[in-house]
A and B are shown apart, each in its own frame.
Chain A
Amino acid sequence: MNMIETHNLTKVYGDFTAVSNLNLHIQKGRVYGFLGPNGAGKSTTMKMLLGLTYPTSGSFTINQKKYPQDRISILKEIGSFIESPAFYGNLTGEENLDIIRKILGLPQSSINDALEMVGLIPYRKKLAKKYSLGMKQRLGLAGALIGQPPILILDEPTNGLDPVGIHEIRTLIKSLPQKYNCTVLVSSHLLPEIERMADDIGILNHGHLLFEGTLDELRMRARTAGYSANNLEDTFLAMIDADNQQKGW
């Protein structure tokens, strides 16, 4: 069953097409890696799914619900983390989470659970504006994970983290479907990263979907195209490069 489906989703800013006829199929209970170079349209797609920006054309369903009619009930099921983390600098990490907790109607204990998951317990009383980049990132993640929502939309969640942090968060994301039976859409511009987290993968370039399928299918495709299947990075780069040349970008 597909948790998130998009149908010819398109977003145009003036004369720039950020996302073009996108058809994504994100299955329930799996981690879907959304891969693409910077500016490929990953964030725009995720923003559309969250109702933060309107599609120019096309539509999408999330758990069979549609935007904008079901905005509130869609957002109740999604934990999200978009771009640079969004928070209130004059509040502590704990207070920031408390705002989200109240809106979602979660119990008090959920704050601690979320802080613990991302390892922010020691810094809970510190003002968010005094946080380091990595701590801000973790706070943003805690805001997405709080209350264990059935759907998670995470935009480049490991940006700005140190290697240990990256590993921690990656392991956390990978474990989420088994632990809480949730569906995860996670974006990155690094293939090795997606390779370690995702079950399914979608590759986006200049707003077009170049590939969608499981990692094994991607390996297969690499082999038939003559690339080394052990090195998916090369496959990815070659796909992007071929697409760029073909379309004259």
Chain B
Amino acid sequence: MKFLSLLFIELKKIRRSKILLILIIPVIIMWIPSIVNASMNFDVHDIPITPENNFFIQGFMGMTWFMIPATLVIATVLLTQTEQSQNGILKMLSLPVSTIRLCLAKFIVLVLLTILQMLFCIITYYASAIIASQLQDYNFVLNPLFVCTNVLTLYLAAIPMAAVFWMLSVLVKTPIFSVGLGLASIVPSVLIINTKLWFAYPMSYPFYLLMIQYGKAATGIYSSQIDWFPWFPVSILITILALILSCIRFGTLKKR
């Protein structure tokens, strides 16, 4: 069977799950304080940054540090619960489908859900930037090309993390541990991006990229150059390893 149709089947399985709300609500919550406190963007405390860049970066700060990773954790719970609550996985395993493809299709669904959130993010950013511009009589709206490429890279950088969370949910059978480990791993990422080993910690990648943006918009705050090496090869290695491990273990837990 074609991978694409398997993917459509996996998307069908999460119908009526209200996951869209979990994707949208934090995005909206994130921008409300930004609009309300838009005037604070002028008060930059000697940091050489333009108000519109400040608005963009401050707004995305909480998103990249906490909400993108947390959304991924919640989505993995949704995906595993959908299979387990009525034993659907048992039926899937007794049908002629490759478990590896099944596992990968679920991972792609996870990635698609974050991409969906990314689109909401861009839309709400523009909505709130326009509202803030009206309120403050100052143009907060940034160039669409700049915004889209930036947000896209932030979410691309979340893919290795998505693979790790997916691996956790496959390997760790007890839900409290897979969820707990996932959430606990988010907390220290703010500290880890200031250490030398940040590139080995996928939960900090989106935040790192945002800090680089910050560094570019306000010289001196943070590095303005991305350390591609060893980050790039390490992140790809982590993603592939996590996916291989989850594909090997997927479905075998039931078989013992």
CB pair A87–B91 under 8 Å, yes or no, is yes
Which of A22-30, A31-39, A102-110, A199-207 has 4 or more CB atoms under 8 Å from chain B?
A102-110
CB pair B90–A75 under 8 Å, yes or no, is no
Q: Is A86 an interface residue (CB 8 A)?
A: yes
In the complex, which of the residues A74, A82, A103 contacts B97, with contact meaning CB atoms closer than 8 Å?
Answer: A103
Which residues 78-114 in A have Cβ within 8 Å of B in the complex? Answer: 78, 80, 82-91, 95, 98-100, 102-105
Q: Chain A contact residues: over half helix, strand or loop, or mixed?
A: mixed
- A: number of interface residues (CB 8 Å): 35
In the complex, what distance in Å separates the CA atom of A99 from the CA atom of B91? Answer: 10
Q: Is B17 an interface residue (CB 8 A)?
A: yes
In the complex, which of the residues B8, B12, B256 contacts A91, with contact meaning CB atoms closer than 8 Å?
Answer: B12
In the complex, what distance in Å separates the CA atom of A103 from the CA atom of B9? Answer: 8
Contact count band on B: 20 to 34
Q: A51-B93, A99-B12, A100-B95 are in contact. Are A86 and B86 (CB under 8 A)?
A: yes
Which residues 46-99 in A have Cβ within 8 Å of B in the complex? Answer: 50-54, 71-76, 78, 80, 82-91, 95, 98-99
Minimal Cβ-Cβ distance residue in A for B89:
A86
In the complex, what distance in Å separates the CA atom of A241 from the CA atom of B98? Answer: 44
CB pair A54–B85 under 8 Å, yes or no, is no
Q: Is A143 an interface residue (CB 8 A)?
A: yes
CB pair A84–B9 under 8 Å, yes or no, is no
Complex interface bits, B235-256 against A, C-beta within 8 A gives 1, otherwise 0: 0000000000000000000111
Q: Is B173 an interface residue (CB 8 A)?
A: no
Interface residues of B (CB under 8 A from A): 1, 5-6, 8-9, 12-17, 82, 85-91, 93-98, 254-256
Q: Name 6 interchain pairs, CB-CB below 8 A, sorted by A.
A: A76-B96, A86-B88, A87-B87, A95-B12, A98-B12, A99-B13
